[in-house]
Amino acid sequence: MATLLLNADGLPVSYLPLSVISWQDSIKYMVLQKARVLESYDNWTVHSPTWSTAVPAVMILLEYEQRKKTLRFSKQNVFLRDDYTCQYCGLQVNRKTATLDHVLPISLGGKTVWENCTTACGKCNAQKGNKSGIKPKSKPNKPNYYNLVEKRKKLEYDLRHPSWKDYMV
């Protein structure tokens, strides 16, 4: 189980990835008085010899934490940038069927960077293989942080507690 962590302004600290902390960390935040509990899990209490509390489902930081606006390169962020669409044939893919393709293969000197990686379906990635002559429909580029966040907000989240939906703006 996990706890959704909100910034002092009531929005998630991060959308890329979603600011979720372990229930153990949420207890530490409570004890250290760094965050206030907004929602708790029903029927789930943790105990120490002298103290017990319901496990937090949603917490809000007491002090505003500056949001990071730098993008981490990851397969999931490349898939998100490309709208989970194969950049060779246009097929819609998902987290399980999407593959990361290097436009210029690593064996030919290609790097694993935004400008050389694109989303491909398994079939297109296998057909392209180690060749460099096949180009994607759109040239890969480093996305804008805000555009990527907006794309992420439109996708479904793994909401581990019903109350999380109320805080996903």
Quick: pLDDT tens for 128-137.
988 888 899 9
Q: Which fold has domain 75-140?
A: DNA Binding (I), subunit A (1.10.30)
pLDDT at residue number 8? 96
Other Cβ atoms less than 10 A from the Cβ of 57: the count is 23
Q: Look up residue 93 and give its two tokens.
A: 């893919």
Rounded Cα gap, residues 104 and 94, in angstroms: 23
Rounded Cα gap, residues 121 and 153, in angstroms: 23
Rounded Cα gap, residues 78 and 84, in angstroms: 9
pLDDT at residue number 62? 97
Give yes or no for a cis peptide into 17 (omega within 30° of 0). Answer: yes
Outline which parts of the chain fall under CATH 1.10.30.50. 75-140
pLDDT at residue number 160? 84
**C-alpha closest to that of 84 among 114, 127, 121, 125:** 121
Please list the residues that pair with 36 across neighbouring strands: 60
Taking the CA atoms of 85, 86, 91 and 94 in sequence, report the sign of the dihedral they define: negative
Per-residue model confidence as pLDDT tens digits over 55-72: 999 999 999 999 888 889
Residues 137-166 have a mean pLDDT of: 89
